[in-house]
Structure 1
Amino acid sequence: MKLVSNYRENNELRKSFIQLAADIFGLDFTNWHEKGYWGERYIPYSFADGGRVVANVSVNELDLILNRESRKALQIGTVMTHPDYRNKGLSAKLMNHVLAEYEGKYDYMYLFANDSVLDFYPKFGFERVEEYQYSTRVPSDTGRAGLRKLEVPADLKQIEKVVYGRVPVSQSFATANSGGITMYHILNVFPDHLHYSEEENAIVIFTEENSQVQLYDVISTSPVNITNLLPEGEVVFHYTPDYKGLKVHSVPFKREGTLFVKSGVGREFPRFVKHPFTSEA
């Protein structure tokens, strides 16, 4: 076996990686790659047995916006090992390689771990972080202006333009340079829940469940007037809202799994925030 990375243009290794992600997590990166959204900021570090990827730890290079300041961040994802190659320490070796490769090059490294591996990441200096989720109640005298349903793939070029030219969804806590991750969500998670506001030039991603609106993202190239976009009733934010004049309520967020963070020297991860759902890898 050998350790390989940056093999996006290697057909054999890329296809093997995509197959492993499909087998382990049910993820399909094929369309995402073919449409050009697998950019240079998504870097898999893998062990390959010949031309077969058997273990992987991926790095997403992005930025965190914290109180209007930009910080370099690395989001770890797609940590996986083929069943035939488990219990050989491959994931640990890849994690140690990534830590050495990026030593001193980030302010924060973080990941979202499922419940089966909660004891794994503290061995590498990661700490659990509690998130908070925000909600608001919109009175009946306000409400969203006419939203047009977007269609994938018909409106994909328009969606791309807004996603890759977006401003952060929040200046308190958000991500930047994470368009590739957001496009994965648009293609694979929310293709039927995309709405466009002509007035705000904004894409609004939401679902309506049990008399609640689950608001996953507001993607725009300039700040929006959120009162033009929110419907009447209870709205639950899947990011950290900081809209001026909007009264919100927060509660500890219970997700499947846990957010783990490894902070750079002299850095402290902010409290009372919710990581934007559409930039989770």
Structure 2
Amino acid sequence: MKNRYQSSFSQDTTLISKLFNLLEIVFPGAELTTLAEQARKLGAAWEDASIPFVRFDNDGSLIAHVGVLEIPMRLMGENAIVGGVHAVCTHPDYRRRGYYREIMNEVLDYCDKRYETLVLTTSNPEYYQPFGFRFIQEHSFTTSINSEGSVNETRLLNINNIDDVRLLHRLLETRAPVSNIVGIVNEKPLFLVNEATRPMYYFPDLDTIACMSIQDNELKLYDLVAPKIFPLQELVQRIPQPIQSCSIYFSPDSLNTEAQASPEMLDGDSHLMVRGTFTPESQKFMIPRSARC
């Protein structure tokens, strides 16, 4: 028997526009429509990646949604398909009526038959604890670097250039996990939603894309997309600016560098919530920014 709330973007062609209308109301300023449209232009449509669980009002308007997508991960050296719960929202006029609980119960029934692990990130962890999700502390990593800068051997990726788009797709399809503790393999939709409107730097001789920024001689490294992960020093010596320190927002076990781990939540309040088995739970790690949902 078909689930009560599970729907389909392909069978209901009006659903995607109704969803983004709701998301703009619930998350004003998040620019989710813009992010999703950019990802769509680059070849990763929201409706191809996410399974919607929705509730409508009597007049056909969308009043609540929970999305489920799949995230291919490397966890403690093993490949796994993890379920990602995302875009959880209820219209403000319809809250405290039990709609969220009803949909989440169906979502969990669906997911428990398919995934050993569910993940999500939220600024409101208390909403998910009643459903068996638990908070797991993540860590960032810092290391000192003494680089005076060099000849520039990087360039900004241009997502309006078809050759750069093909390059991005190739590397996403063939990427090595940035970490064997928690890494991502062959995933596009989340990456493109999370990163395509941010600067991405290409290191041609390393065939590597870096999601990074530099401020006050500090390199902030959020993700690397490459068939092979090179040591951190290999990246730094190709950056023209002087670098004195590096903050790494994923486990640096593949970077051949010593780094100090510190508890941190990305963006200050991005709590990682997990349900089910999560083999890296006792390790120090952070899910890369590009794969957070």
TM bracket (short chain) = 0.7 to 0.9
Among 39, 42, 46, the residue aligned to 2:50: 42
RMSD over equivalenced CA pairs, Å: 2.3
Q: Provide closer, same or farther for how the CA distance between residues 131 and 94 of structure 1 changes in structure 2, counting only shifts above 3 A.
A: same
Asked if 1:196 corresponds to 2:202, the answer is yes
Helix, strand or coil for the counterpart of 1:70?
strand
Contact 1:142 1:227 in 2 (8 A): no
Among 8, 18, 21, the residue aligned to 1:19: 21
Alpha-carbon distance between aligned partners in 1 of 2:94 and 2:201, rounded to the nearest angstrom? 44
1:263 — aligned with what? 276
Q: Which runs of 5+ in 2 are unaligned?
A: none
Alpha-carbon distance between aligned partners in 1 of 2:171 and 2:43, rounded to the nearest angstrom? 16
Asked if 1:176 corresponds to 2:185, the answer is yes
Alpha-carbon distance between aligned partners in 2 of 1:175 and 1:93, rounded to the nearest angstrom? 31
The superposition leaves residues 231-259 of structure 1 with CA deviations (integer Å, 9 ceiling, x where unpaired) of 53211112111125311111111331411
Helix, strand or coil for the counterpart of 1:271?
coil
Contact 2:232 2:255 in 1 (8 A): no
Contact 2:52 2:66 in 1 (8 A): yes
1:177 shift after superposition: 4.0
Contact 2:67 2:87 in 1 (8 A): yes
Matched to 2:264, the amino acid is: F
Contact 1:200 1:225 in 2 (8 A): no
Matched to 1:204, the amino acid is: A
Contact 1:143 1:227 in 2 (8 A): no
Matched to 2:8, the amino acid is: N
Q: Provide closer, same or farther for how the CA distance between residues 145 and 242 of structure 1 changes in structure 2, counting only shifts above 3 A.
A: farther
1:78 — aligned with what? 87
1:127 — aligned with what? 134
Moved over 4 A (4+): 141-145
Q: Which runs of 5+ in 1 are unaligned?
A: none
- Aligned residues between the structures: 274
Asked if 1:205 corresponds to 2:211, the answer is yes
Contact 1:16 1:51 in 2 (8 A): no
2:153 — aligned with what? 146
Identity among equivalent positions (%) equals 21
Helix, strand or coil for the counterpart of 1:5?
coil
Helix, strand or coil for the counterpart of 1:3?
coil
Alpha-carbon distance between aligned partners in 1 of 2:107 and 2:68, rounded to the nearest angstrom? 8
Alpha-carbon distance between aligned partners in 2 of 1:3 and 1:107, rounded to the nearest angstrom? 22
1:156 — aligned with what? 165
Helix, strand or coil for the counterpart of 2:118?
strand
Helix, strand or coil for the counterpart of 2:20?
helix
Matched to 2:133, the amino acid is: F
The superposition leaves residues 37-73 of structure 1 with CA deviations (integer Å, 9 ceiling, x where unpaired) of 1264422211123543221111121133122111231
TM-score of the superposed pair, with normalisation by structure 2: 0.84
The superposition leaves residues 212-270 of structure 1 with CA deviations (integer Å, 9 ceiling, x where unpaired) of 21111111123334322125321111211112531111111133141111124x96734
Helix, strand or coil for the counterpart of 2:256?
coil
TM-score of the superposed pair, with normalisation by structure 1: 0.88
